[in-house]
Amino acid sequence: MISPFFLLLFLFLLYMSVLYKSSSSLALCLLFLFWAAASVFQLLYSRKKVQVDFPFSAHTGAKESQAVFTFTIKNQGVLPVSGIRLRLLLLDQNGNKAEEKKIFLSLGPKSRRKYSLTFSSPYCGRFQIQLKSLRLYSFLSLAWLPVKTRLMGEAVFFPQPFPVPLKISEKTRYFAPEGEESLETPFLAASAAGSLQDDIHSYQPGDRLGLVHWKLSARTDELLVRFPASGEGFSVLLFLELKTPGPADSVGQISAFFQWAASLSFSMLELKCAHLMIWFDLKEQCLRRFPVRNEEELNFALYCLLHGAFYPDSKELFSLYSREYPTDTWASRLLLDTSLTLWQEDRKLVSSSQDKWKEDMALTELTL
């Protein structure tokens, strides 16, 4: 498209050359037409040579409410690009604009530039970064050409845990759950899990059958029993109901849900209470459970939780868990849903709102 200013200037020169039969005005009109043709050629050529390398995700900034998104734009052609205008949007879970960034730059021939943008959000969760528009400008912005883009990335804003008044009973702290572990433990450290050789010994009369390591026993042709080195087990089950909240300010509701879940898990971790975070995976149609024994496992569990898909109907998480892991036992279980209602066993502890959940959480005495 031709700039309206230069188009009016061309019409004015053309009017002057016709009205006053000015040869200089006519020469300027011809020069303008040549300039416009060259600009259009430059834009059509550069449209195929300018590329944007969009990363999949941003990384968390110095604060929990910030995400740094770095991308690269390059010109592979032999002609310079006088101007490039980019418009990037930060979209929440509902696809609404949360923040907007605009960049205007120029690129020489066979060159590239890397840019880092810091997006911020008062809410936590998984947001989308979209390259909404890309425009190329010719010399002195005589003409500009839009370039179609469908580039998307993501920005993950982690929740900021708050202290929860928790008390861990002796029964829960030293409870040894039955059943064999089959957990996703990519950050399992020796300090958290103990030595595998120290935890396993031959079966002795009186040992519980629930502690038998059946897979290892089948490989060694010897009945082996596994005990946690520290005497602690996953005695608390933290169920998380990912039911889609109502349309009214659902972004704030989801953010409060993530913060409450992180606060519960962090507070249990501070009290040296190993636990499991469990939710239903809509894509795989099964339960996912993540052990939390140290800070690395907590961060990994939260990262996976922030990428979890919400579903329209409630799930009977406890019933699903009992059917899938019938040999597991536990000392206590909690359930938190997106309506910000916290349950302990079958008893409702507190039901809050996204504006008052911190106050309600601080006033709720929770003994596990």
pLDDT tens per residue across span 112-132: 888 888 888 888 888 888 888
- Same domain, yes or no, for 97 and 242? no
Higher pLDDT, 145 or 8: 145
Q: Let me know how many helices (H) and strands (E) the chain has, helices first.
A: 10, 19
- Same domain, yes or no, for 211 and 298? no
- Same domain, yes or no, for 90 and 182? no
- Same domain, yes or no, for 312 and 244? yes
- Same domain, yes or no, for 323 and 225? no
- Same domain, yes or no, for 174 and 310? yes
Name the E strands within 200-304: 200-202, 224-226, 236-241, 275-281, 286-292
Per-residue pLDDT band for 146 (boundaries 50, 70, 90) equals: confident
The residue range of the domain holding 120 is: 50-157
Given 101, 135, 157, the domain boundary residue is 157
- Same domain, yes or no, for 104 and 199? no
- Same domain, yes or no, for 203 and 182? no
Helix, strand and coil content of the chain, in percent to the nearest 5, comes to 30, 35, 35
The letter for the amino acid at 297 is E
- Residue 249 pLDDT: 66
- Same domain, yes or no, for 144 and 250? no
Neighbours of 153 (CB within 10 A): 19
- Same domain, yes or no, for 170 and 204? no
* CB-CB contact of 193 with 183 (8 Å): no
- Residue 18 pLDDT: 67
Q: How many domains does the chain have?
A: 4
CATH of the domain at 73: 2.60.40.10
- Same domain, yes or no, for 95 and 137? yes
Given 157, 184, 217, the domain boundary residue is 157
Classify residue 14 as exposed, middle or buried by CB count within 10 Å of its CB (0-12, 13-18, 19+).
middle
- Same domain, yes or no, for 199 and 98? no
